[in-house]
Amino acid sequence: MNIIIDVKEQELNIEVKVCGEIDAYTAPKLKERIYSYSEKQSIKMVVDLSDVNYMDSTGLGVFVGVFKNIRANNGELKLINLSDRLKRLFEITGLADIIDITSKIEGGI
């Protein structure tokens, strides 16, 4: 499965729309596309996962790394429009307690 990553940057606000599956094959592409933004000071990144129907532990690892970098640089990360399945994945791993996630936001980003 392929992955499509659309990034819109407006000063310190980064909007990311991910479509497809995030797995061992596609996670490196996601990391390559968004990781550099996480190294900037005080960014606010919103990642729309409404069109992601599958994610495995490698995908979680990308978001943990991005989250840690953003937090270390006084920024914010928010994951929005998670399916119930993705939300459950973040909950059972305990990541829902540290990363700001929202199940559904009408209209996306």
Q: Which residues of the chain have pLDDT under 50?
A: 108-109
Structure tokens at 53: 């129907």
Rounded to the nearest 5°, which phi and psi values hold at 107?
A: 85, -5
pLDDT score of 102: 86
| Sequence-distant (≥ 6) Cβ neighbours of residue 97 within 8 angstroms | none
Cα distance between residue 69 and residue 54, in whole Å: 24
What is the average pLDDT value for the chain, to the nearest integer?
A: 93
pLDDT tens per residue, range 65-96: 999 999 999 999 999 999 999 999 999 999 99
CB of 90 closer than 8 Å to CB of 55: no
CATH topology of domain 3-101: Transcription Regulator spoIIAA (3.30.750)
pTM summary value: 0.92
pLDDT score of 106: 53
